[in-house]
Amino acid sequence: MSQPSLTLPTPGQQAGRNRRLLEILGAAAIAATFIFLVLTQPADIAGGLGSVSALVALGGFLLGAVLLIVGVLPTLPTATVVLMPVALVLNIVLGQLMGSTGLPFYLDAIGTVLIAVLAGPAAGAATGALSSIVWSFINPTVLPFAAGAALIGFLAGTAARYGLFRRFYLAPVAGFVTGIVAGVVSAPIAAFVFGGTAGAGTGAIVSAFRAMGDTLLAAITKQALISDPMDKAIVFTIAALLVYALPRRTTFQFPFVRRYNVLAGKEPAKRNA
């Protein structure tokens, strides 16, 4: 996998280039959609439902997420692909387990962050997007948030790549920053596709900002900036705790962890090194 090829270029390399293109197109679709939504929102929200914005938000974000998945998935080693379903179920099960403690957070990205730390930004982004798509089989309202979930996975992987998970106190900081970005990107979806948020607590915060005369997008963005950074800081901390609880034999199986020295501590001794 990590050894350089000794043979002539094969058609596989052309395919690899095509996949790279798909990844870039996916990221571009997500970025363009967000910029369009932010630029056009003032005219739309006063005009009623904002149907064009809803269509653009749904279409652009979903297209970007699907392109990312199709581009990234075939490049991942089997060990990572097999871990993905586990991560997706963890997103749901651990979220529910946490819900039983009565904490006011959603914590539905723990599995995504776990994969991102072990397998890198691309794998994290694909896991986030897939998580929303698979979860939508049970709860369709999470489907439009696929791009935001992909972004969380990507940022978590990038944080791991630059060693933010090597120092324990840096993981929540990375989570906090990720939460800010993810909240700002997800707010237009909540505003234009659903016209609000589902939770009682988040709804109350949005109502408070609306009462002060904010536009809907501004109110939901401010609410996201209150809830999301805290939530993601906790998620990153839990993911870091879990990664360090895993045996090193397991974590150092992942090429990403070995290559970028993601975790503190030494690689377990190799037999014939």
Partner 1 sequence: MAPRLNPLTTLTAAAAVLVITTAASSWAVSLTVAAGAALLAAVTGAARRVLLGAGVILAPFWLSLLVMHGLFFPEGRTVLASWGPARITAEGLGFAVDMGLRTSAFVLVLLLFSFSVRVPELVAALAAFRLPPQFGYVLASTLMLAPIIAARLEKVRQAQESRGLVVGKGFGNRLAAVRLQMVPLVLGLVHDAGVRAQALDARGFRRTGPRTTYTQVRDSEAQRGFRILAALLAAAAVAVRVAASLSGGGQA
* Window of 31-39, 146-154, 177-185, 196-204 that interacts with partner 1 by CB under 8 A: 196-204
**What tokens appear for 158 in the block?**
């990038």
Longest dimension (CA), the chain: 69
Does 18 engage in binding with partner 1 (CB under 8 A)?
no
Of 152, 169, 72, nearest to 116 (Cα)? 152
Q: Which of residues 144-163 bind partner 1 (CB under 8 A)?
A: none
Choosing from 2, 3, 7, 78, the residue that interacts with partner 1 (CB under 8 A) is: 78
Q: Which of 101, 60, 75 is nearest to 19 (CA)?
A: 75
Residue 36 or 181: the one with the smaller Cβ distance to partner 1 is: 36
CA distances, 148 to each of 12, 76, 117, 188, 199 (Å):
31, 21, 18, 11, 18
Give the amino acid at 214: D
Stretch that binds partner 1, among 145-153, 158-166, 190-198, 257-265 (CB under 8 A): 190-198
Q: In the complex with partner 1, which residue's Cβ is closer, 181 or 242?
A: 242
Q: Which residue from 46, 162, 167, 265 is in contact with partner 1, where contact means CB under 8 A?
A: 46
Mark 211-250 with x for binding to partner 1 (rule: CB under 8 A) and - for no binding.
x-xx--------------------------xx--xxx--x
Q: Closest separation between CB of residue 14 and partner 1, Å? A: 12
194 scored as a contact of partner 1 (CB under 8 A): yes
Of 99 and 181, the one with the shorter C-beta distance to partner 1 is 99
Residues 234 and 231: their CA atoms lie apart, in Å, by 5
81 is a site residue for partner 1 (CB under 8 A):
yes
Nearest residue (CB) to partner 1, 136 versus 180: 136
Min dist CB 82 to partner 1, Å, is 4
Q: Which is nearer to partner 1, 4 or 213 (CB)?
A: 213
Count of other CB atoms within 10 angstroms of residue 246: 13
C-alpha angle with apex 121: 30 to 180, nearest 5 degrees? 60
Q: Are 212 and 86 in contact (CB under 8 A)?
A: no
169 binds partner 1 (CB under 8 A): no
Residue 67 in contact with partner 1, rule: CB under 8 A: no
Using the minimum distance from each CB to partner 1, give the nearer residue, 52 or 184: 52
Residues 88-147 interacting with partner 1 (rule: CB under 8 A): 88-90, 92-94, 97-98, 101, 114, 130, 133-134, 136-141, 143
User: Which parts of the chain fold into alpha helices (H)?
Assistant: 11-46, 51-72, 78-99, 110-119, 121-135, 146-161, 170-189, 200-211, 216-245, 248-251, 255-259
Contact residue for partner 1 among 25, 31, 58, 170 (CB under 8 A): 58
Q: How far apart are CA 91 and CA 111, in angstroms?
A: 5
Among 63, 70, 173, 184, binds partner 1 (CB under 8 A): 70
Nearest-5° angle of CA 53, CA 55, CA 56? 65
